[in-house]
Structure 1
Amino acid sequence: MASGSEGSEVRFRHWIGGAETESAGCATFATENPTTGKIWGHFALGRAGEVDRAVEAASSAFETWRNLSPTRRGRLMMRWADAILENAETIGRLESLQNGKLLNELVLQARIVPDWLYYYGGLADKIEGRVIPLDRGSVLNYTLREPLGVVGVVMPWNSPLFLAIMAIAPALAAGNTVIIKPSEVTPASVIEAARLAERVGVPKGVVNVVTGDRETSEALVNHPDVAKIAFTGGVEAGRAVAVAAARRFAHVTLELGGKSANIVFDDADLKQAEAGLLAGIFAAAGQTCVAGSRALVHRKLHAQALEMLARRAASIKIGDPLDAATQMGPVATRAQLAKDEGMVAKAVAEGAEIVHGGVRANPPGLPDGFFFAPTILTNVKPDSYIAQNEVFGPVLSVIPFDDEDEAVAIANGTAFGLAAGVWTLNIRRAHRMARKLQAGTVWVNMYRGMTFNSPFGGYKASGIGRQNGIEAIDQYLQTKSVWCELDDSVQDPFVMRS
């Protein structure tokens, strides 16, 4: 359990089988507050032994959870949703202190997290098999939809509980139990949420949390009794998860990186597009998988757009994310800050020009925070390193194009395919672009929209599988075919029936 008051260091332990659990030898690791650069808290450092204990707890709870009536399961999920909603302020504050995103945004996220539990809780008793009509009238053939078992959920630091619940909710509704391994940067909110689940009556062991580092994740991914891994994170880590899971034929859902194109045509409402471009990259300091890090702007508007974007970027208020007046907080880690600097330097070396930013920011009173200025680059070649690779920071590359075909070619010309934005008043063009773009989500005259009942996921290197919507629950189920002969007569054992 956390101890200490705000401003002092806090302490969290694993949550396994409905109880706080220390690691062997009481091993811990520290997290930093990116706004101040100081130690914020200490967490139990899980290893294979702790993962084993969590898998044992989840496996023991599996039969209890799957055998609850689906309606009862759904109602417990809804009660958990109510508890999270009641504690949204606490959860949002914990996340802001750990990853530096705006408090208002994270509290809002915590308030919409329950929608996922309400939605999938409502779907729990609507999982149905079907009766299959056969040529042989004496045989009854039907299907059962059954849960997989223990699901490992490995999550990143940018929206800890929000991203985790996108996997947890359909997994629980389907009858699975879960073990969550949150990022070592932001473990606190997921632990708090797991406690709330047990408090409202979710059986012990259904929701478990093991904190730690990469070694902890690997122990969970490689555990023989974990039936599926739901992973959100970087491409290389996702590749490693997929390979490890394939070795033992475990199921996977992968939500990976992006290099999303935000495409502005010459007939767009430029003010509306400007707002979308800014929100697409500078909201959350660019630390979102769908960040619109490439602004493809029609050449007729390119110079005007650059001037507008630079002016607006210069006006963004950078500072403490707990302050309601702040518009952009720090990046989450020292490593991310160094990556932002390095990628901008590499872009300049390859010929890009900095229109604004490109350096660390120093808001008053926060000299040790991990702040990077909103950055706009021009003269970026579509095949350059920064145009092909995810920054995960507040860095926007503005690239001109001449026509629709060129915009499509540039947008599709990366290994990623997570999302894209299209800004145009031409309805025919909008729908043509939606079909041509190789992306799992295409927004038209908007950006960064997401909800519980609309599928989300990537093409190409951006992932495997879908989250949200009815499609997501299917990925936490397996289908069994049952055949039953109704005829009492003896069948010839050497004749195969079809």
Structure 2
Amino acid sequence: MTIDHLPADAGYGATAPPRYDLFYGGRWHPPVTGKYEAVIAPATGAILAHVACAGQDDVDLAVAAAQAGFAEWQSIPALERARRLRGLAADIRDHAEELAHLDAMDSGNPVWMMRADVRNAAEKLDYFAGLVTEMKGDSVPVGPHAVNFSVREPLGVAVRIAAFNHPFSFVAGKMAAPLAAGNAMIAKPARQAPLSALRLAQLALPHVPPGVFNVLPGDRDTGDCLVRHPGVAIVGLIGSVPTGKAVMGAGAQTLKRVILELGGKNALIAYPDADPEDVAEAIVSGMNFSWCGQSCGSTSRLFVHESLHEKVLARLPEKCARFVPGLPDDPATTMGSLISSDQFQRVLDYIALGKSEGARLVYGGTLPDDPKLSKGFFIRPTIFDGVEPHMRIAREEIFGPVLCVLKWADESEMIRAVNSLEYGLTCSIWTNDLNVAHRAAAAVQAGYVWINQVTQHFLGAPFGGYKQSGIGREECLDELLAFTQIKNIHIALRQPPAPARRA
């Protein structure tokens, strides 16, 4: 059964997925329970489609299909796997426009931003395809009568659970490392934005054997079934800290490996010698207002030195005004919507909380006036000044377009405040003094630090967090190796017979 609310050309130039069922073993399957869930366009509130929701029986069938796919895929030479992944990357680029429109419609983000997400996913496939020969072992000297060496082998079935803010990139980009290493994968796309993952399943089918890439849309129970399944070897999650803890706890029952990219309440630190204009520009870029602030790497805490405070604050309204909420397909749109009514209300509650805590609202915090946006989940960029480190808006991840400005004078106290949270994902430091930059970078407890830069990722540079912001590193060789296990092999060499002794 296929329940399809989208025409073949689904508006905004998007091509609908061929089915809204589950995809495993190279074929589409209706859910055993018959359960489908509505997918809502966050910019308009319209129902886009009803998508299958996988249950325990579906998970069992998908894992069995993935195990069969793994048996074939791991035996394919590494360079051939790389060639096929590059072929998929080329197909993704050929379909980039439709994929970007589909993601924009599904996530509420502007089309131009989702084009970059599609390019990013294709680049990751190419990058990890180029690393397949780096899955190397070592030799151990044990003397002349034996050979001892190690090899790296794939783990088996990998599960990757995606977040809603980069729906296509977090599925297509995160399939690259496990598949390059020779694993099969089951992707669980975000419940709120699963459509591009289903379209990806169709694009991937010609490039990999059946069962190697599978897509199981569903709810929290679906994810729990996948994490607990004994046939799954490793789980990767992009999500919140509470979800990461739940995944780690459930996976512990079978001692699964986990890769967790979790939340952040990241700091941007402005030192007295920084240029106020540069800092102000970095603030609005680092907040990812175009994504409505929905990014775990957003620098949502601004620690600005008191000598710069007024100069920086005066520049922010003009820069925030560049971010205009709008419909995803409107070329004038520079700011997307929040993903759901729940997240919309959550952000509004935090804005009310900030006011009640005594912070001063200096910009935004309101809904757009455009009547075309009245059914969507839009909130304008929001800036609070006079924020103190103990306030909840300064300590809790809001995952929305809310910036907290904290003024500092003493560096040691500022560093303590920066490091006082359970999070430690990113940090941006602004100074023209090289000594200060190195000292601050060493002092902050964060896994990804920019100096006079913000937001950007660099393929090959390990991305991941300290403390409760995650486990593992991605976008680098470490991510590929995380999907392998080491086997040691010892070979005793037969010794030649001793020469006969002469009489």
Note whether the superposition's TM-score is higher than 0.5.
yes
1:411 match: 418
Q: Give the one of 358, 364, 367 matched to 1:360.
A: 367
Partner of 2:323: 316
Q: Residue deviations 1:10-54, cap 9 Å, x none?
A: 861211111111112432100111111121111011111111111
SS at match of 1:300: coil
Aligned-pair distance for 1:166?
A: 4.1
1:159 maps to 166
TM-superposed deviation, 1:317: 1.7
2-side partners of 1:446 and 1:303: how far apart? 22
Task: Measure, in 2, the Cα distance between the counterparts of 1:40 and 1:32.
Answer: 6
Match of 1:219 in 2: 225
TM-superposed CA distance for 1:314, in Å, is 3.8
Q: Distance in 2 between matches of 1:410 and 1:311?
A: 29
Q: Report the equivalent of 2:500.
A: none
What is residue 435 of structure 1 aligned with on the other side? 442
Distance 1:81 1:453 in 2: 18
1:91-130 alignment, distance < 5 Å: 91-130=99-138
Partner residue, 2:179 = 172
- Partner Cα distance (1:188, 1:216) in 2: 17
Quote the Cα distance in structure 1 between the aligned partners of 2:86 and 2:37.
33
For 2:168, what is the secondary structure of its paired residue? helix
**Is 1:76 matched up with 2:106?**
no
3-state DSSP of counterpart to 2:403: strand
Q: Which residue of 1 aligns with 2:313?
A: 306
* Contact 2:122/2:173, CA 8 A, preserved across alignment: no
What's the RMSD between the two structures over aligned residues? 1.7
Q: Report the equivalent of 2:501.
A: none
Q: Is the 8 A contact 2:322 2:334 kept in 1?
A: no
* Aligned counterparts, 1:143-292, within 5 A: 143-199=150-206, 201-281=207-287, 282-292=289-299
**1:6 is matched with which residue?**
10
Deviation at 1:385, TM superposition (A): 0.8
Distance 2:234 2:175 in 1: 12
Distance 1:343 1:230 in 2: 29
Question: Amino acid of the residue matched to residue 474 of structure 2?
Answer: Q
- 3-state DSSP of counterpart to 2:47: strand
Bigger drift between 17-26 and 53-62 goes to 17-26
Q: Which moved more, 1:81-90 or 1:310-319?
A: 310-319
Residue in structure 2 matching 1:402, options 391, 403, 409: 409
1:331 aligns with 2:338: yes
Among all aligned residue pairs of Structure 1 and Structure 2, give the percentage whose two residues are the same amino acid.
35
Residue-by-residue CA offset, 1:295-343 (whole Å, 9 max, x unaligned): 1111111122222113332453221122121111211111110000111
Deviations 1:260-302 (A, max 9, x none): 0011112112212211100111131100110111011111111
TM-score, normalised to structure 1, is: 0.95
What do the CA deviations read for 1:421-464 (whole angstroms, capped 9, x no partner)? 01111122111111111111111111111132111000001000
**Contact residue 462 and residue 475 of structure 2 kept, 8 A:** yes
- Give 3-state SS (helix, strand or coil) of 1:416's partner: coil
- Over residues 370-397 of structure 1, what are the superposed CA-to-partner deviations in whole Å (9 max), with x where a residue is unaligned? 0111100012111211111101100000
Confirm whether residue 450 of structure 1 aligns to residue 460 of structure 2: no
Once residues 469 and 101 of structure 2 are traced to their aligned partners in structure 1, the CA distance between those partners, rounded to angstroms, is: 30
Q: Which moved more, 1:108-117 or 1:74-83?
A: 108-117
1:496 aligns with none
Q: Check the 8 A contact 1:167/1:467 in 2, yes or no.
A: no
CA distance in 2, matches of 1:108, 1:140: 49
- The separation in 1 between residues aligned to 2:431 and 2:224, in whole angstroms, is 45
Letter in 1 for 2:10: E
SS of the equivalent of 1:380 reads: coil
**C-alpha contact 2:172 2:200 (8 A) present in aligned 1:** no
CA distance in 2, matches of 1:141, 1:83: 42
- The number of residues matched between the two structures is 488
Provide the residue aligned with 1:494 in structure 2.
none
Quick check: 77-86 or 429-438, which moved more?
429-438
Q: Partners in 1 of 2:135 and 2:175 — Cα distance?
A: 17
In structure 1, what is the Cα distance between the partners aligned to 2:186 and 2:378? Answer: 33
Aligned to 2:58: 50
Q: Using the alignment, how far apart are the partners of 2:259 and 2:267 within structure 1?
A: 24
Identify which of 3, 14, 23 aligns with 1:15.
23
Structure 1: tracts of 5 or more residues without a match: 491-498
Distance in 2 (alpha carbons) for counterparts of 1:191 and 1:403: 52
Contact 1:362 1:371 in 2 (8 A): no
